Amino acid sequence: MGSEHRSVRAIRFCLPPFALLLAGFCTPGLGQGTGDGPREANPADVASVDAIVAAVYDVISGPAGEARDWDRWRTLFLPEARLISTGVNGQGESGYRVMTPEDYVAMAGASLEQNGFFESEIGRTQEQFGPVVHLFSSYDSRRSASDREPFARGINSFQLLNDGNRWWVVTVYWTSERPDLPIPEKYLSGGSGS
């Protein structure tokens, strides 16, 4: 595993309560202070929770030899967004990898395009409080859209934000199903693929 793959217990540190971090730090717009400025997205991709989740799956999915629309990908995420994979290695050790959306493109893009990859939502549970949405999006992964059986399944934990104009992906945090960690039935209903 790469240097970004760490043991979960290796990152203990103490932060002040979240409310203290925000005290006096309300900025009038997303992405300020990053130098990125606002990103322009297809309004249809960011108009609803369903649309932005579908757009994430759509960008990474496609047959072997087909380029992915990474410019579209970039418009879905906050500039500070993170993608975090977690799992167990061959020695049974738990770990994780933290990536920016750009890191994900660099790490996975060529493989997705070379080998073919189709990821579909097969179940969803969703919670919302004002502009904040958390959802578990159960998925299956196939090399070809015509494959009879997926080669992998798991859960993508999406954290989304509505800034009053559109939806943004803040975090996608996921793990794959394995024999000792099957997806519970309660997470296999309510998705676009069910």
For residue 58, give the amino acid letter: D
Q: How confident is the model over 4-31, as pLDDT tens digits?
A: 444 433 333 333 443 333 333 333 344 4
- Cα–Cα distance measured from residue 31 to residue 28, given in angstroms and rounded to the nearest whole number: 10
What are the C-alpha distances in Å from 185 to residues 34, 72, 124, 138, 190? 41, 33, 11, 10, 11
Per-residue model confidence (pLDDT) at position 89? 87
Residues in the chain, total: 194
Please tell me which residue, 68 or 193, carries the higher pLDDT value.
68
pLDDT band at 189 (very low <50, low <70, confident <90, very high): confident
Q: By C-alpha distance, which of 112, 185, 126, 114 is closest to 156?
A: 126
Q: Does domain 40-187 have CATH number 3.10.450.50?
A: yes
Per-residue model confidence (pLDDT) at position 39? 56
Q: How confident is the model over 126-159, as pLDDT tens digits?
A: 999 999 999 999 999 999 999 999 999 999 999 9
Edge-to-edge strand list for the sheet holding 167-176: 6-7, 94-99, 77-88, 167-176, 152-162, 132-142, 118-129
Per-residue model confidence (pLDDT) at position 90? 85
First to last CA, the chain: 34
- Cα–Cα distance measured from residue 11 to residue 155, given in angstroms and rounded to the nearest whole number: 23
- pTM as predicted: 0.80
Q: How confident is the model over 56-106, as pLDDT tens digits?
A: 999 999 999 999 999 999 999 999 999 999 999 888 899 999 999 999 999
Per-residue model confidence (pLDDT) at position 191? 54
- DSSP letter at 118? E
Q: How confident is the model over 24-51, as pLDDT tens digits?
A: 333 334 443 344 544 599 999 999 999 9
